[in-house]
Amino acid sequence: MGVLNLTPDSFSDGGRYLEPDPALARALAIEAEGAAIIDLGGESTRPGAAPVPLEEELRRVLPLLQRLRPRTEAILSVDTSKPELMRAAAAAGVDLINDVYALRAPGALEAAAESGCAVCLMHMQGEPRTMQHAPHYDDVLAEVCAFLRERVEACRAAGIADERIVLDPGFGFGKTLEHNLTLLRHLGELRIGGLPILAGLSRKSMIGTLTGKLSEERVYGSVAAALIAAQNGARILRVHDVAATVDALKVLEAVGGSG
Ligand code: YH5
């Protein structure tokens, strides 16, 4: 899954894809580099970020989605928590709703269910504005697992079949470096009913902390983290550096280590 940020304040590529033509070109480049999924995001969810008004998020995502849909066979994903955008994106042909709030916003579960789209349910402790202030868990693995189980049950009750569900531990979302490392180490144990796991580690603070590098310079660390996630059972990797990650995965696959 290649990331396309349509926000002015994204940590790694903020403001680069606000104009329609560069955004479309980048989306097609993500596909050409070997991504199966393109994730379009109009709301910044990095630590400390403020919420984006609905109109603004619609304006950032929908026009691109409408131009992109007829030009690609890639799976298109929309990174949103807002039911209105879920509905509009589904009407524009999006395939996957990637929600860092795991469909907890009022109306989101119903909108996702009715869309017919697949959904990615992500764990987050707290909310983006404050989530990194003092993350705490007694047992991070058990608590993330329990949360995801509860959200899977909510999806099933709303009529979303297991075939449509992807799970995500939410690296960096209300987690210290140690919490993230524990989750990465034990990623395979998060399996709930055999549902596929998505891992998003690309360029995040944990990579910065481990390597001492700024966001743009976190490619090697991110590729290493993606490879470990794949080895530990992740089926989808959310990354900024698609070409580099695809090469690394080819090597892993040849050795037979990608599960
Ligand atoms: C994710 O893990 N993450 S947006 C901070 C950074 C760099 C990157 C400090 N959406 C995920 O990518 N969706 C985001 O540097 C996501 N899983 C899913 N499913 C945050 C992000 C980032 C934040």
Q: pLDDT for 90-147, tens place per residue?
A: 999 999 999 999 999 999 999 999 999 999 999 999 999 999 999 999 999 999 999 9
- Cα-to-centroid distance, 34 and ligand 1 (Å): 20
Which of 15 and 76 is assigned the larger pLDDT? Answer: 76
Say what the pLDDT of residue 20 is: 72
Which of 50 and 135 is assigned the larger pLDDT? Answer: 135
Please tell me the distance from the alpha carbon of residue 100 to that of residue 121, in angstroms, as a whole number: 7
Task: Determine, yes or no, domain membership for 30.
Answer: yes
Structural domain count, the chain: 1
Say what the pLDDT of residue 11 is: 55
Which of 158 and 130 is assigned the larger pLDDT? Answer: 158
Give the mutation target among 75, 198, 204, 206 for probing the ligand 1 site: most ligand atoms within 8 A of CB: 204
Task: Determine, yes or no, domain membership for 60.
Answer: yes
Which of 51 and 66 is assigned the larger pLDDT? Answer: 66
Please tell me the distance from the alpha carbon of residue 190 to that of residue 195, in angstroms, as a whole number: 9
Task: Determine, yes or no, domain membership for 259.
Answer: no
Say what the pLDDT of residue 142 is: 98
Does the structure show a pLDDT above 90 at 13? no
Binding-site residues, ligand 1, Cβ < 6 A: 11-12, 45-46, 79, 98, 100, 120, 122, 168, 170-172, 198, 200, 203-205, 215, 238
Task: Determine, yes or no, domain membership for 28.
Answer: yes
Say what the pLDDT of residue 231 is: 97
Which of 158 and 51 is assigned the larger pLDDT? Answer: 158
Task: Determine, yes or no, domain membership for 208.
Answer: yes
Q: Report the CATH number that the domain containing residue 43 is assigned in CATH.
A: 3.20.20.20
Band (213; pLDDT cuts 50, 70, 90): very high
What phi, psi does 194 have (nearest 5°)?
Answer: 70, 15
Say what the pLDDT of residue 12 is: 59
Catalytic choice (60, 203, 204, 218): 204
Band (54; pLDDT cuts 50, 70, 90): very high
Say what the pLDDT of residue 45 is: 84
State the burial class of residue 50 (Cβ atoms within 10 Å of its Cβ: 0-12, 13-18, 19+): exposed
Beta-carbon contacts of 211 under 8 Å, excluding residues fewer than 6 positions away, are 217, 218, 220, 221
Which structural domain, as residue segments, surrounds residue 224?
Answer: 2-254
| Six token digits for residue 51 | 């919420």
Residue nearest to atom 14 of ligand 1 (CA): 45
Q: Percent of the chain, pLDDT > 90?
A: 88
Give the mutation target among 4, 236, 238 for probing the ligand 1 site: most ligand atoms within 8 A of CB: 238
Long-range Cβ contact pairs of 206-214 (< 8 A, separation 24 or more): 206/171, 206/172, 206/177, 206/180, 206/181, 209/177, 210/177
Task: Determine, yes or no, domain membership for 245.
Answer: yes
Say what the pLDDT of residue 258 is: 64
Say what the pLDDT of residue 201 is: 98
Amino acid symbol at 152: V
Task: Determine, yes or no, domain membership for 122.
Answer: yes
Say what the pLDDT of residue 191 is: 84
| Six token digits for residue 72 | 């690609």
Of 49-63, 170-184, 236-250, where does mean pLDDT reach its minimum?
A: 49-63
Q: Judge whether 238 counts as a catalytic residue.
A: yes
- Cα-to-centroid distance, 253 and ligand 1 (Å): 25
